[in-house]
Amino acid sequence: MRYASIMAGGSGTRLWPLSTPGRPKQLLRFIAGRSLLSISASRLMGLIDPANIFVCTSNNYTDQIHQELPFITPSQILGEPVGRDTLNAVGFSAAIIHKINPRASLAILTADHLITPVSTFQSVLRAAFDFVDQMPEYLVTFGITPTYAATGFGYLECGETLSAAARVVTAFKEKPNAEIAQEYVKDGRHYWNSGMFVWKTATILEQIRILAPASYEGLMAIAASYGQPEFVDKVRQIYPTLPKISIDYAVMEKAPHVATMPMDVKWLDVGSWSSYAETITPDAAGNRAATADLLTLDATNILAVSDARHLVAVMGVNDLIVINAGNVTMICRADQSEKVKLLAQAVEKAYPDGYA
């Protein structure tokens, strides 16, 4: 049987001040009135039974997630008391679903990406499920066909062909400089690392047992209590003790059988204000606005966003991001959007009790 778990635990600090610890980016209804989580779940409709769709998130967000995805039952929301990086989020999902069905195939998906067309996404995901049914020893990741020389993404290097859709992953590459990224785009062997996977729960848990035994022991102890009164207490006691490490470092770079399926889709990681701007159609001067009313005089490439109707008037400036949320207005140069989380941290330090 086929399952999916959507990773939705991030705080989205690069989208501050709209995204906050209490209302993270995956729950903001700022993509044509919909949240990233809702859009991510909707991509699975017709492919995965809703009863088999899980969400791994922070304990702080469980109620909000149930509001966003009313078809999800409380037992399908796996709450982390603290973040312990992707190995444990993935392992948590796999261990619980494996207890429910030891023969399960599991897709690990993200809550912060926009992917179109959905038909292509579903076709490749279906092919990955078919592949692990035939070759259950493999861990499958998805490589996004690069459309430009991105320096902000990790890459997968591919080798021999395993099936009509799958290729062996020969290496995981860190974020490259511009020159190397150009080479990756041209050579046809490199794909953006999407952070999405398909595998048998038995296979990924066995690799965690071999390669990350400390996490395996704790995750299996948690899974043993799933459905029992002590489950919540077990998660609270054990989960914070798990070693903090990513799934790529802990498992994917070391596992003996790793494949990728290229996914030729438009893929947008909505992780910063600059990437969010790509979801809004610009005017002739490159200016974009969401909820805010934007008035410009001799200004280009301005992004204005507000959590309520708000006038942003700019004159004689270019390449700026202006975000209004509650009592906070954040302004930065467009080329500094990746550093907004540093500003959020500085504000938290200056105003530890919050700003109101």
Predicted pLDDT of residue 22: 85
Per-residue pLDDT reduced to its tens digit, 52-102: 999 999 999 999 999 999 999 999 999 999 999 999 999 999 999 999 999
Predicted pLDDT of residue 313: 96
Low-confidence residues in the chain, pLDDT < 70:
356
- How many residues are there in the chain? 356
**In the chain, where the domains are located:** 2-269, 273-350
Quote the tokens at residue 175: 């974020």
Per-residue pLDDT reduced to its tens digit, 196-245: 999 999 999 999 999 999 999 999 999 999 999 999 999 999 999 999 99
Cβ atoms of residues 110 and 270 within 8 Å? no
Predicted pLDDT of residue 149: 85
Quote the tokens at residue 337: 């959007």
Predicted pLDDT of residue 178: 86
Predicted pLDDT of residue 356: 56
Residue at token pair 């459905």: 227
Cβ atoms of residues 123 and 131 within 8 Å? no
pTM of this prediction? Answer: 0.93
> Which CATH class name applies to 2-269?
alpha beta
Query: Could you give the C-alpha distances from 33 to 38, 43, 181, 207, 311, in angstroms and in order?
Result: 10, 16, 35, 40, 19
Predicted pLDDT of residue 295: 96
Predicted pLDDT of residue 189: 87
Q: What share of the chain is helix, strand, coil (3-state, %, to 5)?
A: 40, 30, 35
Quote the tokens at residue 118: 């959905």
* DSSP label at residue 195: E
- 3-state DSSP assignment of residue 37: helix
